[in-house]
C-alpha cells in the first residue's frame, strides 16, 4: 500500500493540472464544460476512492499470487513481451469487469458513481467507487495466471492501465482517425457515458477498443445523436458517498418488500434495472424517459459559497497528499484516523452543498475532533517535524470549518 500511496502522491497533482488546463481551455473557447458544485463533487469522489484504496479497505476473495501459484502452466521471465502480454491481459479482464458492472444489478452499485455526473469532463474520470469492497478482479486474470505472468508485472501494470483511462473523459477532442480502431478515444467514451437509447451500455473497453468490436458492444458516436450524460435513475445529490450506496439501498428495499422468495434472491444477479413485479408498480422510482428534456440537478449557490467549497476541497487534497508523503511513518491506527477524518469532511461539505440540515453537525463534530487531536497530541500526525507552524495552521483550518459550516448552514436554511 505504501507503493500505491507514493504513486498517488505524483499522479494526483498531474491529474489536477490537466483539469485546470481543460478548464482554462474551455474558458478560452467560451465553451466551459465545468460547474463548481459538480467539479467539487467529482474530485471529492476521487479522494474518497483513494482513501479506501490506499488503506486497503477491501475483502480479497482470491489473490493473483494464489492463482499464479496453483494455475500457472509455465514460468516466464519478465521481458518486454511479458509486459505486453500482462497489459493486454489486464485490459481484457478490465473489459469483462466493466461489462459485468453494467449488466448485473449488484455490480452496478460499484460503478454507478462513475456515471452519476450530468457533465462529461476530466473531473468526471475521478468519480470512482468506495463500494467496491470485494476483491474479485483476479478471477478475471485467469489467462495471465495460466501463462505465468509474474505478480510483479501485474502489480505495476494495473495502476498504469487504470491511470491510462483518465485522458479520454473530455468533450474537447473529436474523432482521432485510425486510432479509433485500436484504442478507446474521447469520442467512443462520450458514447459510453451517454444515456441515449442508441448509446446505453456501449463501448465498455478501457484502453483497447478491440474488445468491443470483437464482442458486439461497439457503437460509434453519431453526428445526429448528441450524447446526454448522467444515469437513468438520477442521483439528485452532490454527496459522492451517498451516490455510492443509493443503488444498493434500492436493491435492499426491493428485496425486503417483495413477497416472492425467489425474487428476494435473484434480484441481486438480474440485469441492471430489473425489479420484482410486485414492487415495481407499488414503489415506482424516478427514471428518465426523455434524455433531451429532464430536470438536471442544481442547488442554490453563490460565488462566496463556491469559494468556501473550493477551499474545503483544496485543504482535503493537501491533507491527503501529506498522508501519502508520510505514509510509511504512520501506524495503521493513525492512518485509519487520518483517512476517516478526511472522509468525514468530504461527507460534511458535500452534504452542505445539498442543503442537508444535518451537514452542520457533521462539520462541527469534525472540527471539534480535529482540534482535540491537535491539542491533545501537540502535533498533526507528524507534521511538526516537517513544518513547525503546521499544527497551528491545521488548528486554524478546523476552527474555520466550525465557523464556516455554521455560517453557511444559516445562509442556506
The arithmetic mean of pLDDT across residues 271-289, rounded, is: 94
Quick: pLDDT tens for 316-328: 999 999 998 898 8
pLDDT at position 62 is 83
pLDDT at position 3 is 64
pLDDT at position 413 is 61
Burial class of residue 68 (count of CB atoms within 10 Å of its CB; 0-12, 13-18, 19+): buried
Prediction pTM value: 0.94
pLDDT at position 76 is 80
- 139, 60 in Cβ contact below 8 A? no
Residue 175 has pLDDT above 90, yes or no: yes
Count other Cβ atoms within 10 Å, centred on residue 59: 8
Average pLDDT taken over every residue of the chain: 94
The arithmetic mean of pLDDT across residues 239-264, rounded, is: 97
- 154, 144 in Cβ contact below 8 A? yes
Report how far residue 93's alpha carbon sits from residue 339's, in angstroms, rounded to the nearest whole number: 30
Higher pLDDT, 103 or 9: 103
SS (H, E, C) the chain: CHHHHHHHHHHHHHHHHHHHHHHHHHHHHCCCCCCHHHHHHHHHHHHHHHHHHHCCCCEECCCHHHHHHHHCCCCCCCCHHHHHHHHHHHHHHHHHHHHHHHHEHHHHCCCHHHHCCCCCCHHHHHCCCCCCCEECHHHHHHHHHHHCCCHHHHHHHHHHHHHCCCCCCCCCCCCCHHHHHCECCHHHHHHHHECCCCCCCCCCCCCECHHHHHHCCCCCCCCCCCCCECCCCCCCCCCHHHHHHHHHHHHHHHHHHCCCHHHHHHCCCCECCCCCHHHHCCCCCCCCCCCCCCCCCCCCCCHHHHHHHHHHHHHHHHHHHHHHHCHHHCCHHHHHHHHHHHHHHHHHHHHHHHCCCCHHHHHHHHHHHHHHHHHHHCCCCCHHHCCCCHHHHHHHHHHHHHHHHHHHHHHHC
pLDDT at position 349 is 98
Residue 208 has pLDDT above 80, yes or no: yes
pLDDT at position 403 is 97
Quick: pLDDT tens for 364-393: 999 999 999 999 999 999 999 888 899 999
Residue 4 pLDDT level (bands cut at 50, 70, 90)? low
Quick: pLDDT tens for 122-165: 999 999 999 888 888 889 999 999 999 999 999 999 989 999 99
- 188-to-26, 98, 212, 239, 285 alpha-carbon distances in Å: 20, 15, 10, 28, 30
Beta-carbon-side half-sphere exposure of residue 228 (alpha carbons within 13 Å): 18
The arithmetic mean of pLDDT across residues 225-235, rounded, is: 97
pLDDT at position 56 is 80
Share of the chain above pLDDT 70, in %: 98
Quick: pLDDT tens for 329-363: 999 999 999 999 999 999 999 999 999 999 999 99
Amino acid at each position: 500500500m505504501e507503493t500505491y500511496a507514493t504513486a498517488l502522491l505524483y499522479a494526483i497533482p498531474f491529474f489536477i493540472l490537466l483539469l485546470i488546463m481543460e478548464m482554462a481551455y474551455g474558458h478560452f473557447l467560451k465553451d466551459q464544460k465545468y460547474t463548481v458544485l459538480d467539479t467539487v463533487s467529482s474530485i471529492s469522489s476521487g479522494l474518497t476512492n483513494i482513501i479506501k484504496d490506499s488503506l486497503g479497505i477491501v475483502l480479497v476473495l482470491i489473490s493473483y499470487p494464489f492463482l499464479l501459484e496453483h494455475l500457472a502452466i509455465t514460468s516466464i521471465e519478465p521481458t518486454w513481451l511479458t509486459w505486453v502480454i500482462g497489459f493486454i491481459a489486464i485490459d481484457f479482464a478490465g473489459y469483462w469487469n466493466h461489462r459485468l458492472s453494467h449488466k448485473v444489478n449488484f455490480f452496478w452499485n460499484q460503478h454507478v458513481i462513475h456515471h452519476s455526473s450530468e457533465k462529461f469532463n476530466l473531473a468526471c474520470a475521478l468519480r470512482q467507487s468506495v463500494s467496491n469492497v470485494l476483491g474479485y478482479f483476479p478471477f478475471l486474470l485467469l489467462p495471465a495466471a495460466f501463462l505465468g505472468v509474474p505478480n510483479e508485472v501485474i502489480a505495476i501494470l494495473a495502476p498504469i492501465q487504470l491511470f491510462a483511462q483518465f485522458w479520454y473523459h473530455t468533450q474537447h477532442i473529436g474523432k482521432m482517425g485510425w486510432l479509433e480502431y485500436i484504442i478507446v478515444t474521447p469520442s467512443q467514451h462520450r458514447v459510453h457515458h451517454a444515456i441515449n437509447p442508441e448509446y446505453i451500455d456501449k463501448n465498455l473497453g478501457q484502453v483497447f477498443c478491440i474488445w468491443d468490436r470483437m464482442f458486439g458492444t461497439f457503437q460509434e458516436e453519431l453526428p445526429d445523436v448528441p450524447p446526454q450524460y448522467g444515469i437513468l435513475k438520477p442521483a439528485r445529490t452532490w454527496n459522492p458517498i451517498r451516490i455510492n450506496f443509493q443503488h444498493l439501498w434500492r436493491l435492499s428495499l426491493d428485496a425486503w418488500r417483495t413477497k416472492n422468495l425467489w425474487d428476494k434472491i435473484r434480484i441481486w444477479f438480474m440485469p441492471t434495472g430489473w425489479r420484482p413485479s410486485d414492487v415495481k408498480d407499488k414503489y415506482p422510482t424516478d427514471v428518465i424517459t426523455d434524455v433531451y428534456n429532464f430536470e438536471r440537478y442544481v442547488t442554490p449557490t453563490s460565488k462566496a459559497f463556491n469559494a468556501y467549497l473550493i477551499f474545503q476541497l483544496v485543504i482535503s487534497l493537501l491533507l491527503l497528499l501529506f498522508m501519502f508523503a508520510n505514509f510509511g511513518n504512520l501506524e495503521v491506527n493513525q492512518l485509519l484516523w487520518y483517512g476517516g477524518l478526511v472522509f468525514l469532511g468530504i461527507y460534511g461539505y458535500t452534504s452542505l452543498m445539498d442543503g442537508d440540515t444535518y451537514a452542520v453537525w457533521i462539520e462541527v463534530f469534525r472540527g471539534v475532533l480535529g482540534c482535540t487531536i491537535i491539542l491533545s497530541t501537540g502535533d498533526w500526525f507528524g507534521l511538526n517535524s516537517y513544518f513547525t507552524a503546521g499544527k497551528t495552521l491545521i488548528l486554524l483550518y478546523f476552527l474555520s470549518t466550525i465557523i464556516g459550516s455554521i455560517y453557511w448552514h444559516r445562509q442556506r436554511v
